[in-house]
A and B are shown apart, each in its own frame.
Chain A
Amino acid sequence: MRMLDRKLLRDLWRVKTQVLTIALVVAGGIAGFIGMLSTHESLKLLQSAYYERARFAHVFARVKRAPLAIERRIAQIPGVSGAETTVSYDVLLDIPGTIEPYAARIIALPDGDGTDSRPRINQVTLMAGRWIDAPASNQVLVNETFATARKLKPGDRIAALLNGKREQLEITGIVLSPEYIFPGRAGLGDETSFGIFWMGRKRLAAAYNMEGAFNGVALRLSEHSNSASEAAVIGALDRVLEPYGGTGAHGRGEQWSHRVITQEIDQQRVFGVVLPSIFLAVAVFLLNVVLTRQISLQRGQIAALKALGYPDRAIGMHYLKFVLVIVAIGMVLGLAVGAWFGRGITAMYAGFFRFPSHDYRLDPWIPLVAGFAAIIAAGSGVLTALFRVIRLPPAEAMRAESPPTFHATLLERFGYGRVYSTQVRMILRDVERRPLRAAATVLGVAASVAILISGTWWKDATEYLLDVEFRLREREHISLALTDPVSSAAVHDFAHLPGVLAAEAARDAPVRLYSGTRGHVSYRTTLFGLPRDTQMRLLLDKQLLPVPLPPAGIVLNSRLARYLDVRAGDTVEVQFLQGERRRTRVPVAAVIEEMMERQAYMNRDALNRLLGEGDAISSVRVRLDPARRTAFLQAVKQTPRIAAIVEIDAIIQHFRRTSARFILVFTGILTVFAAIIAIGVVYNNARIALAERAWELASLRVLGFTRREVSGLLLGELALELLVGLPLGWVMGYWLSWSIIQLMHTDTFELPVIIEPHTYAYATLTALAAGVVSALIVRRRIDQLNLVSVLKTRE
C-alpha cells in the first residue's frame, strides 16, 4: 500500500496545476456555502440575541387615544407576559444648518426617574451621551442611524413642531432600539431622513393633551407562544382597543424594521444554496474528466498492478484517494476563505443593521454539510471512471488503446463538408466524437458567464426600477404627509407655497384588505385615494402605459393582487384602520403593474364616501421650481400639521447608495468565483485534450505544420466551445437571475429581471479573458512539444 501512496503523491504532483484549478473550484463552492450560510446563521443569532436582550415586542398596536385604565385589561389577556403603553407622534424637525426639514417620530419614555424611565419592552440601548435626567423637560434621546446621517451629537439642539408649537429639543444621548433598526414606514423607507426620538412621557403627553392616556402599546408573549396563540392575542387586543380607535394590532411579521431585516438575512440563504450548487456541479465534472484521463493514461500501470496481485479494491481506492486529496485541498481552502468571507459579510450586515454585537459564529454543521456534499458529489463524479478500472482485464490493459473511431460529422453527411478546410473538419469531428466532454466544457463556460450575470445584473434592474417607479410613476418632486386629514380646500394653501408649480392632494387611508376567494388571506397596507385626473401618481399597465383611474372600485397593484389571489372583477373586503373602522366590500376595478410595495388605489371622492368623512385629504404632492427649493423647504418648516416630507431624489439616492455597496461586494466575489470556474474548465479541458492529442499534434509538426497551425487545431476546438458556451451563458444567466428572484420573494419590492447589454458584455469578456489566459498557458505547452520523443512511442 505504501508504494501506491507514494505513486499517488507523484501522480498528483505531476498534474499539480490541474489539481490546483479543480481544488479552487471545489473551494469556491465550499467557501460560498460556508460563507453565506454562516452569515445567515450568525445574523439570525445576532438578531434574536438582540431581540431577547432588548425585549423586542411580539405584538404591536396603535390607537387614537385610550385611557391608561385599560392597561391592566391588556396585560391580563391570556398568553401575554408583558405589556407597555406609550405615546408617540410624528413631527417635523428643523435642524440648525440644514435646509431640509426632516420627519421624525417622538416616543414617550415611561414615567419615572433614572432607570425607571427605561422602557421594559423595546428597550433602548444607550450608545453615547447620557440618559435624560429631567423627564418633564425637552431632553431627548435620538437613534444612532439618524444621528450619524445628520451628524447629531449629545448636547446639540434641534427644533420640532410639537402639536403645531415650535419647541427646542436638547439631545442628551444616542441610542439603539430593536423596534427601529430600520426606521421607516411603508413607501418612505429611508432611515437617514426619518429620525426616532425618545422624550419624557410627561412632557410629550402634555404637548399632545395625552395625560392619562396612550396611543401605542407593545406586548411580549409568554415563552410557549406560537402563531395561533399570537393570533388569539391580536384578536383580543383588537377587541379591547376597538372603542378607542384602534387601528388593528399586528405581529412582528408586519413590523417594518423586522420585516426589512428578516428579508435581507433570508437572502443569504438563497445565495448560500444556489451558487455553491453550481460550483460543486462544475467541480464534479472536472474531477470526472481528470480522473478518466488519468486512468486511460495509466492503463499499463493498472494492468501491471493487477498482474502483481493488487485487488481491485486497492486499485479503486488508490484512484478514489486521488479525488479525495483534491477535495480535501478544496475543503481546507474553502473553509478558510468561507469563514473569512462570512466574518466580513456578517460584520458588514451587522454594521448596516446596527446590531450592538458583530459576533460571527460558524456552527460546525455548516462545514460538515459542505464537506459531506463535496465528497458525495466528487465521489459520484468519479464512479464511472472507477468502474472502468475495476472492469479492465489485465491483458487488455497491457495493450495500447485501439485508435479512436471517427465518423463524418452531421454537416458532412448532409453534404456541407466541402465548405470548410481539413483543419476545421478535424476540429468538428473531434468535438462530435466526444460530445459529452465538449458539452461539459460548453456548460462550464456557460455556468461562469451565468454566475457573472447573476452577480452583476442587480444594478441594471435597480436603475430600471428607480426609473419606472420614481420618474415615470411618481411624478412629484416632494410629497408631504399631514398629521390629520383636512378639508380638500387646504390644497390651495400648499399650491401657494413658494416654488410650487403644481400641487395635488390625496386621501391616504391605512387599511387591511381581506380576499374572499382564499379564506382568510389579508394584507395591511395603504389605500391611496387619488384625484380623478391625477398627474403625479400615474397608474401604469404592463407596457407602462397609463391606466385611467376608475370612478369607483379599488385598483390593486399586481403584487397585492397576486398576494390576495384576486383579479379585476373580483371583490375584496376593505377594513379601514382609522376613524370608525368601517368594513365594506369593494369590487376590484383594475389591476396595475408595480414593482414596489403591495398597495391599492381608489378615486379620492369614492374613498371619502366609503370613509364617510366628507371631502378630506391627508397628503399633498407638489412639483417644484428647482431654483426655489430652499424657499419651499423653509416655508414647510413653518407649516403646522405636516407629519412627514419625502423628496423623491433623496429616496433615489439612498436606494442607490445602499444597494451599490452590496452589489459591489457581491459582484466582486462572484467575478472571482466565475473566473475560477472558467479557468478550471477551460484549462483542464485544454490540458487533457493536449495530453490526448500531443502525439497527433507532434505528427503534424513533423509533417511541416507550424506551431501556429498546430495550436490552431487544439485552441480552435476551445474557441468553438467558448463560442457556443458564451451565448448559452447569457440564456442561463437570465434564467439563473430569474430563479434567484423567485426564491427571494421580498415584501417591499420585486426587482424585474432587466439585464442591460453592458452586463452581458462584462460577463462575456470576463469569461473570455479567463478562457484566453488558460489557452495561452496551454499554447506554451504546445510550443514545447518534444517532436522526437512523442514519435518514439505509441501512446
Chain B
Amino acid sequence: MTATTASAGSNAGGAPVFTARGLTKVYRMGEVEVVALRGVDLDIYGGEFVVLLGPSGSGKSTLLNILGGLDVPSGGTAMWHDHDLTRADEAGLTRYRREHVGFVFQFYNLIPSLTARENVALVTEMSQHPMTPEEALALVGLGERLDHYPSQLSGGEQQRVAIARAVAKRPDVLLCDEPTGALDYPTGKLVLEVIARINATLGTTAVVITHNAPIARIADRVMRLADGRIVSIEVNSARVSPSEISW
C-alpha cells in the first residue's frame, strides 16, 4: 500500500483531475448572506486520497458539493479535467454525476424500498461498464447480505451498501461527506478501510470530509479549511492504514 500512496502523493505525474480557482459561494438565507467559500484554489490529482478537514461551517461540504456537481459556485471556476463545472447546465451536471462521481453521505441515503443488491443495481443499471452488484457488495464485505432491506441492516452495513453503490459504476472520483459521522468507532473504522482499499485497488480518486483530525492521517494530502478558505495543505509522508488510527 505504501508504494501506491507514495506515487499518488508525489503529485508529480500528469494534470490534475480537479482544478479550482478563486471559488466563492454566497448563500442567501432569508435576509442574511452567508459566505461559505471565500476564494478557494486547489488541484486534486488522479488516484489521490484527499481529506478535507475543518470545523463545521468552514465550507468543506460546500466545496465537496461543487466538485460533485450538486451545487454551483457564486464565483471562480471549477474544472473536471477540461470540463467546466461552473458553466454546465442542470442536465450537464446530472450527466457528470452519473458518469464520473460516486457519492457517500453521512446518512447513507439508501432507498428504503430496495434491498442492498437492488440499491446497488439502481446505479449499475444506468452505467456503461459497472461491476455486478454482487461484486460491489463483496468489495465492502457484504456478499452475504445481498437481499436485506435497509431496515434490516445496521448503520455500518447501510454505509457500506452506500459505498458499494457509489463504487459499483467504477467512478473516477469518490466523494465522501462525513462517511463515519453517524457511526460508532469500530464501524467507522471499518468503513474508512473500505474507502482506502477502493482508492488503493481501483485507483479511484477519493475526497473525504471529516471534522475528525486523526482521520487525516490515512490521506495522501490533508486540506484544512476554516472560514471558507483553505488554510493549509499537508502532504502525509507516511500514510497509515485506518486500522492503525484511533479517535
> Interface size for chain B: under 10, 10 to 19, 20 to 34, or 35 or more residues?
20 to 34
Q: How far is the CA of A706 from the CA of B99 in the complex (A)?
A: 12
| A–B pairs, 6, beta carbons within 8 Å | A421-B125, A422-B125, A430-B113, A702-B68, A705-B94, A707-B94
A788 touches B (CB below 8 Å): yes
- Check if A704 sits within 8 Å of B126, measured CB to CB: yes
In the bound complex, residues from chain B placing their C-beta under 8 Å from that of A403 are 112, 150-151
A269 touches B (CB below 8 Å): no
Contact with A along B170-205 (1 / 0, CB 8 A): 000000010000100000000000000000000000
A209 touches B (CB below 8 Å): no
Contact with A along B95-121 (1 / 0, CB 8 A): 101110101010101111110001001
Q: How far is the CA of A192 from the CA of B113 in the complex (A)?
A: 68
User: Which of A695, A703, A788, A793 is the one whose CB lies under 8 Å from B122?
Assistant: A703
Q: How far is the CA of A794 from the CA of B105 in the complex (A)?
A: 11
In the bound complex, residues from chain A placing their C-beta under 8 Å from that of B125 are 421-422
In this complex, how many residues of chain A approach chain B with their Cβ under 8 Å: the count is 30
- Check if B112 sits within 8 Å of A787, measured CB to CB: no
A473 touches B (CB below 8 Å): no
- Check if A422 sits within 8 Å of B118, measured CB to CB: yes
In the bound complex, residues from chain B placing their C-beta under 8 Å from that of A118 are none
For residue A715, give the distance in angstroms from its CB to the closest CB of chain B.
Answer: 16
- Check if A704 sits within 8 Å of B94, measured CB to CB: yes
Give 10 nearest A-B pairs by CB, closest first. A704-B98, A699-B109, A429-B113, A704-B97, A794-B107, A403-B151, A406-B113, A405-B151, A406-B149, A426-B113
Instruction: Known A425-B118, A706-B91; judge A699-B99 contact (CB<8 A).
Output: no
- Check if B94 sits within 8 Å of A402, measured CB to CB: no
Q: How far is the CA of A402 from the CA of B105 in the complex (A)?
A: 18
Instruction: Known A402-B151, A704-B97; judge A696-B111 contact (CB<8 A).
Output: yes
Residue of A nearest to B98 (CB): A704
- Check if B111 sits within 8 Å of A433, measured CB to CB: no
Please give the residue numbers on chain B whose beta carbons come within 8 Å of chain A beta carbons, in ascending order: 61, 65, 68, 70-71, 90-91, 94-95, 97-99, 101, 103, 105, 107, 109-114, 118, 121-123, 125-126, 149-151, 165, 177, 182
Please give the residue numbers on chain A whose beta carbons come within 8 Å of chain B beta carbons, in ascending order: 402-407, 421-422, 425-426, 429-430, 433, 695-696, 699-707, 787-788, 791-794
User: How many A-B residue contacts, CB cutoff 8 Å?
Assistant: 85
Q: How far is the CA of A498 from the CA of B111 in the complex (A)?
A: 85
- Check if A788 sits within 8 Å of B70, measured CB to CB: yes
In the bound complex, residues from chain B placing their C-beta under 8 Å from that of A407 are 149
In the bound complex, residues from chain A placing their C-beta under 8 Å from that of B103 are 702-703
Q: How far is the CA of A699 from the CA of B177 in the complex (A)?
A: 13
In the bound complex, residues from chain A placing their C-beta under 8 Å from that of B121 are 422
- Check if B94 sits within 8 Å of A406, measured CB to CB: no
Q: How far is the CA of A695 from the CA of B110 in the complex (A)?
A: 10
- Check if B151 sits within 8 Å of A704, measured CB to CB: no
In the bound complex, residues from chain B placing their C-beta under 8 Å from that of A696 are 109, 111-112
- Check if A406 sits within 8 Å of B109, measured CB to CB: no
Q: How far is the CA of A407 from the CA of B110 in the complex (A)?
A: 15
For residue B73, give the distance in angstroms from its CB to the closest CB of chain A.
Answer: 13
For residue A426, give the distance in angstroms from its CB to the closest CB of chain B.
Answer: 5
In the bound complex, residues from chain B placing their C-beta under 8 Å from that of A433 are 113
- Check if B107 sits within 8 Å of A405, measured CB to CB: no
Q: How far is the CA of A706 from the CA of B182 in the complex (A)?
A: 28
For residue A496, give the distance in angstroms from its CB to the closest CB of chain B.
Answer: 85
Q: How far is the CA of A426 from the CA of B121 in the complex (A)?
A: 12
Given contacts A403-B151, A704-B97, A707-B94, 5 further A-B contacts (CB under 8 A): A403-B150, A702-B105, A703-B122, A703-B165, A704-B95
In the bound complex, residues from chain B placing their C-beta under 8 Å from that of A702 are 68, 70, 97, 103, 105, 109
Q: How far is the CA of A693 from the CA of B44 in the complex (A)?
A: 35
Instruction: Known A404-B112, A703-B165, A794-B107; judge A788-B94 contact (CB<8 A).
Output: no
- Check if A699 sits within 8 Å of B118, measured CB to CB: no
Q: How far is the CA of A704 from the CA of B125 in the complex (A)?
A: 12
Q: How far is the CA of A402 from the CA of B150 in the complex (A)?
A: 10
- Check if B109 sits within 8 Å of A695, measured CB to CB: yes
Residue among B90, B94, B95, B149 having the largest count of chain A Cβ atoms under 10 Å? B94
Instruction: Known A404-B151, A405-B151; judge A699-B94 contact (CB<8 A).
Output: no
For residue A243, give the distance in angstroms from its CB to the closest CB of chain B.
Answer: 89
Residue among A402, A703, A787 having the largest count of chain B Cβ atoms under 10 Å? A703
- Check if A700 sits within 8 Å of B111, measured CB to CB: yes
In the bound complex, residues from chain A placing their C-beta under 8 Å from that of B151 are 402-406
User: Which of B68, B114, B149 is the one whose CB lies under 8 Å from A422?
Assistant: B114
Q: How far is the CA of A701 from the CA of B95 in the complex (A)?
A: 11
Residue of B nearest to A791 (CB): B105
For residue B171, give the distance in angstroms from its CB to the closest CB of chain A.
Answer: 10
Q: How far is the CA of A793 from the CA of B61 in the complex (A)?
A: 13
- Check if B111 sits within 8 Å of A706, measured CB to CB: no
For residue A709, give the distance in angstroms from its CB to the closest CB of chain B.
Answer: 8
In the bound complex, residues from chain B placing their C-beta under 8 Å from that of A405 are 149, 151
In the bound complex, residues from chain B placing their C-beta under 8 Å from that of A705 are 94, 98, 126
